[in-house]
Structure 1
Amino acid sequence: MILEVATLDVRAGQEQQFETAFCKASEIISNMNGYVSHQLQRCLENKSRYILLVNWQSLEDHTVGFRGSQEYQEWKRFLHHFYDPFPTVEHYESILENHA
């Protein structure tokens, strides 16, 4: 499994509109091949910064399958106008997992 980590800096004052749009956009990503789960978390120190954590079965499910899809165009339409600067996206693989 691959973890996509996106740092999302939303234009100040547009946080509520972004969160509303993200709820709608969540339906798009949730139906993609290789999608496992996602979380959107808001920074406590910087109320305009969020992180998006998406678990994919493979890197290609995100980089080729999702980003190359028509659904991604819809995702962009919902969300990309909120960002300044454009998000940083990185992918991680698990090395150690510990559960309490």
Structure 2
Amino acid sequence: MILEAAMLQVKQGMEQEFEEAFRKASTIISSMKGYQSHELQRCIETDGKYLLLVKWETLEDHTVGFRQSEEYQEWKKLLHHFYDPFPTVEHFEKVNLKGN
């Protein structure tokens, strides 16, 4: 399992519109191959700041399967105009803390 993490900064005053658009966009991402789950968290300390976490089966399910799909073009249309600056997306894998 791969965890995609993106810190999203939404333009001031557009938070409500962004959250509504994200609800629509959620149906797009959740239909993709390799998708497992996602959540959007709103920052308490900073207005307009969100954390998006998406679980994928593999890195390629996100970087190739989703990002190179027609569905991603719709995702972009719904969401990308809200961001300033454009977010950095990183991928993480779980650390086994139980030893070998």
Q: TM-score, normalization: structure 1?
A: 0.95
1:46 counterpart residue number: 46
Gaps of 5+ in 1: none
1:1-100 alignment, distance < 5 Å? 1-96=1-96
Q: How far apart in 1 are the matches of 2:97 and 2:70? A: 34
Q: How far apart in 2 are the matches of 1:97 and 1:47? A: 35
Helix, strand or coil at the partner of 2:52 = strand
Q: How far apart in 1 are the matches of 2:32 and 2:64? A: 11
Per-residue Cα deviation, 1:15-54 (whole angstroms, up to 9, x for no partner): 0000000000000000000000000000000120001000
Runs of 4+ residues deviating >2 angstroms: none
CA RMSD of aligned residues (A): 1.2
Helix, strand or coil at the partner of 1:44 = coil
Q: How far apart in 1 are the matches of 2:19 and 2:44? A: 15
Helix, strand or coil at the partner of 2:80 = helix
1:88 offset after TM fit, Å? 1.0
Q: TM-score, normalization: structure 2?
A: 0.95
Q: How far apart in 1 are the matches of 2:27 and 2:34? A: 14
Q: How far apart in 1 are the matches of 2:97 and 2:55? A: 14
1:97 offset after TM fit, Å? 6.8
1:96 offset after TM fit, Å? 3.8
